[in-house]
Structure 1
């Protein structure tokens, strides 16, 4: 009877290890899905390839999946503000200036256009 219990235990451990390794290799893919990564399918396929390369690619997959975030992109920029954010801030400043002029009673007849950025000026 103990032989059958031991055999059942061996099968159970083998099955748990098999599915555990597959679940472990899906972690980078799940991270990519949560972060809306543009390379989700490539990360998933490389995870399967990593199973056959004895886990050599898995740490790189983890880094690849963690590098992208939907709110900030790849996060590798030089720290400059994107142009659309600058334009949005300029429109907010113009709107606030117009509101301030109305509150002070010196409202212009037409709203002022924001000055062009130095990068937008042509020689």
Structure 2
């Protein structure tokens, strides 16, 4: 009876190890999905290739997935990026100013809280 229990534990451990390695290699891909990385598919494919290269690529994939963030991009620039909403608000204000100048008549200012 103990032989069958030991065999069951051995089979269970092999299955957990097999699927654990697959899950481990999907971590960089999951990070890339969470960060909306532009190279998600490449990271996913390279993770599968890393399974066959004795995990040599995995640390590089993890770094590749971690470097990109949607709010700041690759992060190599000297200045911080302006949030998209703030940039659009500045562009809208500039366009309104130009239209007022072209029409020659001022428009009423929008409320201070930004609502219409």
Structure 1's 2 and 21: CA in aligned 2 closer, same or farther, altered over 3 A? same
- What is aligned with 2:78? 78
For the 8 Å contact 2:72–2:81, the answer to whether it is kept is: no
Q: Structure 1-normalised TM-score?
A: 0.67
Pairwise CA distance, 1:80: 6.3
Task: Give SS of 1:4's match.
Answer: helix
- What is aligned with 1:40? 40
Task: Give SS of 1:71's match.
Answer: coil
Matches within 5 A, 1:2-13: 2-13=2-13
Q: Structure 2-normalised TM-score?
A: 0.71
- CA RMSD between the two structures: 2.9
Matches within 5 A, 1:43-122: 43-79=43-79, 85=87, 88=90, 91=93
Greater Cα radius of gyration, structure 1 or 2: 1
Post-superposition CA distance 1:2-41 (Å, at most 9, x none): 1111111100000000000100000000010011100000
Task: Give SS of 1:6's match.
Answer: helix
Tell me, which stretches of 5 or more residues in structure 2 are unaligned?
Answer: 98-104, 108-116
- What is aligned with 2:26? 26
Pairwise CA distance, 1:54: 0.8
Tell me the matched-pair count. 98
For the 8 Å contact 2:29–2:40, the answer to whether it is kept is: yes
CA distance in 2 between partners of 1:80 and 1:50 (Å): 34
